[in-house]
Structure 1
Amino acid sequence: TSDRGEERIIALVGAGEIIGELSLIDHQPRSASAIALCDSTFRYITRQAFEDCTKDDPEIYKHLTALLAARLRETDEALAAASFLSVRGCVARTLLELVDYIGKDAGRGRILLDQRISGKDLAAMSGEQLSQSYMLNDIGALEREVHH
């Protein structure tokens, strides 16, 4: 959340992924908050336990460095997209990422996003200040199905 109260979704993470690792490395307060979209189980490691583990197995740093490099590359790609793509392009890129991450084959060449994504969340993921009606009407890329 920014100083102006604007929220930005910087990443979607799934089962088995690590969050909060920066604070373990640099001893600074966390840089982001995490919100679970569904029932979840988390494991927590204290800074001291992490330091003890890395003393016993320095290879942990190698894996952590690879993870951080991958996240930095993703951030670079997102910044480039935000700099060079139109609003429509940013939203389209976000939708494609969501399809890759949580999309399910719905048959007949269609992909179903099996999570409810609000216009506000889509804007926060796209890095854009967008009106919900613009995204849903002008882009024409979203189809809402209501199942009774």
Structure 2
Amino acid sequence: MSVIIQGDQVRTITQGILVSRATATLPQSTDGSLFTVSGGRVLLLGLVGEVTTVIQTQVNNTKLKLNPTATGADQDLCAALDISADAVGELYTISGTVGDAMRSDLLIGNPLLAAPLVLSEGDIELDCAASNTGSVAWDLLYTPLDNGASVVSA
């Protein structure tokens, strides 16, 4: 008897566990939680956002960061990108190099991080410098480093 492996099982084995976050409006001149890491450390393999409602036309320097559960300051996962006037379908991702700005385009090649990041327990947040209208949906790929570690949508 043969065993059929489903597509999501193949992805989990080869590229990590997928966690999706439904579209939500942008945080208003603050940061908002996208995902929560709990139970230990994880290896962040990929992170992609897709604009689902056009972003208002005004400067909005935006970045992703980790707000650790343990004491300590927030840690930037990338440098800021101005997302002013981004259209529906615009995609956001990061390289994994903390000093690189968040990337955006209507077509992004490989969404996997060139330099995967080890994240401790805490919240992955979207930090917006302005109050803009617009909505973004997010997908994250990870693999647990510690037994029991997981990521869920915030």
Q: Aligning the two structures, in what range does the TM-score lie when normalised by the shorter sequence?
A: under 0.3
Q: Which has the larger radius of gyration?
A: 1
Could you tell me the TM-score, scaled by structure 1's length? 0.27
- Give the structure, 1 or 2, with the largest relative contact order (CA under 8 Å, sep 6 or more): 2
Which structure has the highest strand share of the two? 2
